[in-house]
Structure 1
Amino acid sequence: AVAGIVWVPAYTDLKLHNLCDGPNDPNAEPLDQNQPAGSAGFFAGNQQFITRKLWGLYNQGPFGHSGKFTTMREAINLGHNGEATMARLAFQALPAPQQDTVIEFLKSLQILPPGTPCRVVDERNNCREGEENDARNQR
């Protein structure tokens, strides 16, 4: 930390990616707000989304670019087509325990409330069982 600021990797490339399998993909947006209003491009819809940062992801549910997924697992399994198809297929090819490990890693990328005595909290900002004591022992 420098002057009270802690820098962390954002885990993003900040680029636009096509995450859909065509205009009928349920994840495509009906309007492309990056195009002039009323133009053919505007009404053609949007299938490109900026890569969201993963740091703080667990604090930002619901998940997916449109916020229509309630879990990260749903967002991976249902919201990753187009350029993200290979990543989705790789995740789905993992044995269930390894998929769980990926999800737990994503959950660990939290922005913790000030003064939190643990490294991982649940959706109510309560320390995960055993975390509070572990964090105190490392101080």
Structure 2
Amino acid sequence: MSLEVPLPDMAPAACLVRVRVLAHLASTDPLGIRLRAAAGRFEADYHLAASPGRLRTNDPKVLSAARNRLLTVERVLGPDMAGMAEMLVLDRFTLSALRQRTGAGLEDARGVLVELAGVYRLTGWGQDVGRAFASS
């Protein structure tokens, strides 16, 4: 899914060494709120699927739905981009950590998060705001 949204003015890389990539993109990108919402859904699905006994649900349908959404993320993004999504969302990588681990920069990270938002159906231009943030 490709969106024709121009990249925001990026801060110099030296200023972003200690800033988490997701936090930076969520606060500066035109799709920032949707990127943060997709990251939140991904994180919730990951924790629900990874440790169901610890959370407040034992409903097999809820657990199965979370696992299926994660499988969809892996299928649509591919293993490399899904791995980067984990680094950005779950591990909260900074730009320097992302560059050291993957060689990727802000534009690559933005692309992964936009694709993640697409998987969670948060990038539709005519979409109502309430529907964009409703739980899946």
TM-score (norm 1): 0.26
Which structure has the bigger radius of gyration? 1
Structure number with higher strand proportion: 1
Q: Which has the higher contact order (CA 8 A, sep 6+)?
A: 2
